[in-house]
Chains A and B, each alone.
Chain A
Amino acid sequence: MLSIMRRSVLWLVLVLMLLSSAATPASAVDEFIEINPFLKKIPLAIPDFKPLSEGEPAREAADEAARLLAETLSFTGYFNILDKGAYLEDPRETGISDAAINYRNWTVIGAELLITGGVYRSADAVEMELRLFDTFQGKSVIGKRYRGRVEDSRRIVRKFASEVIYFLTGSRGFFNSEIAFVSTGTGNKEIFIAEFDGHHPVQFTHTKDITLSPAWSPDGQWLAYTAYPKNRPFLYVKHRYHKRGYEIGNKGLNITPAWMPQAKPSSSLDDMRLAATLSFAGDQEIYLLTGKGKIIKRLTKSWGSDVSPTWSPDGKKFAFVSNRSGNPQVYIKDLETGRVDRLTFQGRYNTQPSWSPKGDKLAYAGMEGGRNDIFVIGFNGRPPVQLTHDTGNNESPSWSPDGSMIVFSSTREGASRIYVMTAFGTDQRRLLTLPGEQMNPQWSPNKHLN
């Protein structure tokens, strides 16, 4: 199943073994866990898709589908999409099925994977036949046929991309997710939402005042955020699609919401749980609330600031920022034992923790020399790994739902913009450009692919 990935990874393992056995043989075994799958990208060929019906619309739909699939898969950082100029075979002429493919024509140009497609297009419907081939083994590994309305083309391509990523990594990817962020283009800070790849950014809030810290509910149907429409930092819980919502306005601060993962998925806000910092009692502490803002209990107890909770995927622990040691550092609270442990020790200003969806790491912004950079730290006592270097201010890391990528904000090009990178820090690029500045990105959970 995972033969392709394994081949690339094996090659790396060998190199790493050679390198590390010379230096620190004791730690060599651990190094295997940290192998970066984005270093050696899998060479993938995506030749033009074949129109299966006559006429210009079919040809256009075929071209667009191939282009979008290449763009979508390339976005993940796993692939090196081979240049079309090098292809020796044109499946539009020779055929798109297993029997028609001469695998040697693809292995000889270095392709380890090949995707072919055929697109049928009628007045209002589109049909796609998409296949993934392992060129070295010389066989088809995924074959799918999709049918939908013309406007579903994008969804069909993403669904197939999800199949490809599932085949390679065992995880469904993030192709049905969105990214919420704050933008100043209107003259105020408002929350916008774009598709995961930055397409179709749409303004979500219209508070006409400071709006901050968007947080997605586990089902992706609700957003919690802080806003000042009443000249007070209140929390708001708003439905993604309907105009429903709740206001959480205790005295003092109502900030940094984080939805607790659900053991039993429920779409009722009464069943959902939200951690947030409130200061009505005089000190800034993290509380557990219902999705509608009813206080259930206090979760932290320490003089000073306790802010920015982020939940472990099992909901049994949460990390947060506290200045109890004199400056802001990341701590972890275990809800079962009640124990609090400090996680970050390097630097004097570590904030904005974000727990990875796989549970094994935490990303955060660490300040050195007055500038923030994105770091990732595990729970094995090893020092954090710095993912951004010498590129302005880098803040607000948030993981993709499969844990393979991180979205963050950066001032590397002047104004603050939204960027993405792989979980290992490679392939850093701007996600979108809008008027004003953009910050505070939050990656949504994957919504159901159907």
Chain B
Amino acid sequence: MQKKLWLVLALVLLVPGLMLMTSCAQKSAVETDTTQKTTPPPEDTSQKVSEAELQAAEAKRAAEQARNQFVNEHIYFSFDSAELSPLAQDTLKRKAAWLKANPDAMVTIAGNCDDRGTNEYNLALGERRAESARAYLMDLGVSGSRLSTISYGEERPLDPRNNEEAWAKNRNDQFQLK
């Protein structure tokens, strides 16, 4: 262990020294090449991190992941329906848990539709989709004041293609944090 540390230290001191020397030697010859001179040596910081810090970073990563999952996990609907499927309800339960763990988070639920229907009716359908998710989250104990809704109808498709796969993807609620 000690030996290794010495080796690292030696390298840390030696490498820039060598680099400085070579760059000085080259300076007169290649005036324009300044990158070598200014690049600091790669510093090995792994030794300085404590176990507690590691855990904190891990927790932060997990929190970020949970937050990302909250934002990126959409719920999906059947054609011309604002009814929550069992799968959508499971997703909403996870979202409710996250919202309880993050009491400061404010959410906008955006309802979306596939483009097979017509624009006007889809604006209404998108709102009903957003409202049914909001009502479900409120039933699970999330305060309604933290949940607002907006409908984009068929105006903001995730997948612009015109097939079953794209339509299924586009009939969704998305959860945006404010």
Contact B121 A305 (CB under 8 A): yes
Bound-complex Cα distance A439 to B127 (A): 22
Q: Is A277 an interface residue (CB 8 A)?
A: yes
**Least Cβ–Cβ distance between B117 and chain A, in angstroms:** 7
Bound-complex Cα distance A252 to B131 (A): 10
Contact A253 B118 (CB under 8 A): no
Contact with B along A436-449 (1 / 0, CB 8 A): 00011000000000
Which of A231, A252, A279, A328 sits near B121, CB closer than 8 Å?
A: A328
Known A231-B150, A305-B128; contact A256-B155, beta-carbon cutoff 8 A: no
Which of A226, A256, A279, A367 sits near B117, CB closer than 8 Å?
A: A367
**Least Cβ–Cβ distance between B92 and chain A, in angstroms:** 20
Known A212-B119, A365-B118; contact A277-B124, beta-carbon cutoff 8 A: yes
Q: Is B80 an interface residue (CB 8 A)?
A: yes
Q: Is A372 an interface residue (CB 8 A)?
A: yes
Which of B116, B120, B152 sits near A210, CB closer than 8 Å?
A: B152
A440: chain B residues within 8 A (beta carbon): 119
**Least Cβ–Cβ distance between B98 and chain A, in angstroms:** 24
Contact A255 B150 (CB under 8 A): no
A 197-234 contacts with B by CB, 8 A: 210, 212-213, 226, 231-233
Category for how many chain B residues contact A: 10 to 19
**Least Cβ–Cβ distance between B135 and chain A, in angstroms:** 10
B121: chain A residues within 8 A (beta carbon): 305, 307-308, 321, 323, 328, 351-352
Bound-complex Cα distance A372 to B116 (A): 8
**Least Cβ–Cβ distance between A322 and chain B, in angstroms:** 10
Known A210-B152, A231-B150, A233-B151; contact A396-B123, beta-carbon cutoff 8 A: no
A371: chain B residues within 8 A (beta carbon): 116
Q: Is A127 an interface residue (CB 8 A)?
A: no
**Least Cβ–Cβ distance between B24 and chain A, in angstroms:** 54
Bound-complex Cα distance A279 to B120 (A): 14
Contact with A along B72-90 (1 / 0, CB 8 A): 0000000010000000000
Q: Is B125 an interface residue (CB 8 A)?
A: yes
A 260-305 contacts with B by CB, 8 A: 277, 279, 284, 304-305
Contact B150 A351 (CB under 8 A): no
Bound-complex Cα distance A160 to B144 (A): 63
Contact A367 B116 (CB under 8 A): yes
**Least Cβ–Cβ distance between A417 and chain B, in angstroms:** 16
A233: chain B residues within 8 A (beta carbon): 123, 150-151
Contact B151 A213 (CB under 8 A): no
Contact B127 A279 (CB under 8 A): yes
Contact B120 A439 (CB under 8 A): no
Known A189-B155, A232-B150, A327-B80; contact A349-B120, beta-carbon cutoff 8 A: no
Q: Residue of B at shortest CB range from A321?
A: B121
Known A210-B155, A327-B80, A328-B80; contact A370-B120, beta-carbon cutoff 8 A: no
Known A305-B128, A327-B80; contact A256-B151, beta-carbon cutoff 8 A: no
Which of B120, B127, B149, B150 sits near A321, CB closer than 8 Å?
A: B120
Contact A213 B125 (CB under 8 A): no
Contact A349 B119 (CB under 8 A): no
B119: chain A residues within 8 A (beta carbon): 212-213, 439-440
B120: chain A residues within 8 A (beta carbon): 212-213, 255-256, 307-308, 321, 351-352
What is the number of residues of chain A that contact chain B, defined by CB distance less than 8 Å?
A: 36
Contact with A along B139-178 (1 / 0, CB 8 A): 0000000000111100110000000000000000000000
Q: Is A395 an interface residue (CB 8 A)?
A: yes
Contact with B along A246-261 (1 / 0, CB 8 A): 0000001101100000
Contact A253 B155 (CB under 8 A): no
Contact A307 B124 (CB under 8 A): yes
B 100-125 contacts with A by CB, 8 A: 116-121, 123-125
**Least Cβ–Cβ distance between B136 and chain A, in angstroms:** 16
**Least Cβ–Cβ distance between B125 and chain A, in angstroms:** 7
Bound-complex Cα distance A253 to B123 (A): 8
**Least Cβ–Cβ distance between A344 and chain B, in angstroms:** 13
A256: chain B residues within 8 A (beta carbon): 120, 123
Q: Residue of A at shortest CB range from B150?
A: A232
Contact A395 B127 (CB under 8 A): no
Bound-complex Cα distance A308 to B124 (A): 10
**Least Cβ–Cβ distance between B146 and chain A, in angstroms:** 16
**Least Cβ–Cβ distance between A402 and chain B, in angstroms:** 25
Q: Residue of A at shortest CB range from B115?
A: A393
A 382-400 contacts with B by CB, 8 A: 395-396
Bound-complex Cα distance A371 to B117 (A): 8
A255: chain B residues within 8 A (beta carbon): 120, 123-124
B152: chain A residues within 8 A (beta carbon): 210
**Least Cβ–Cβ distance between A321 and chain B, in angstroms:** 6
**Least Cβ–Cβ distance between B115 and chain A, in angstroms:** 9
Q: Residue of B at shortest CB range from A284?
A: B124
B151: chain A residues within 8 A (beta carbon): 233, 253
A349: chain B residues within 8 A (beta carbon): 80, 117
Q: Residue of A at shortest CB range from B128?
A: A305
Q: Residue of A at shortest CB range from B123?
A: A255
Contact B80 A307 (CB under 8 A): no
For A213, A233, A256, which residue has the most chain B Cβ atoms within 10 angstroms?
A233
Please provide the 8 A-B residue pairs with the shortest distance between their CB atoms, ordered closest to farther: A305-B124, A351-B118, A351-B121, A210-B155, A308-B120, A256-B120, A307-B124, A284-B124
Query: Which residue numbers of B lie inside 8 Å of A, CB to CB?
Result: 80, 116-121, 123-125, 127-128, 149-152, 155-156
Q: A233-B151, A253-B124, A352-B121 are in contact. List 8 more A-B contacts (CB 8 A).
A: A226-B123, A233-B150, A284-B127, A305-B128, A307-B121, A307-B124, A352-B118, A395-B118
Sample (10) of A-B pairs whose CB atoms are under 8 Å apart = A210-B155, A210-B156, A233-B151, A253-B151, A255-B123, A284-B124, A284-B127, A307-B123, A367-B116, A440-B119
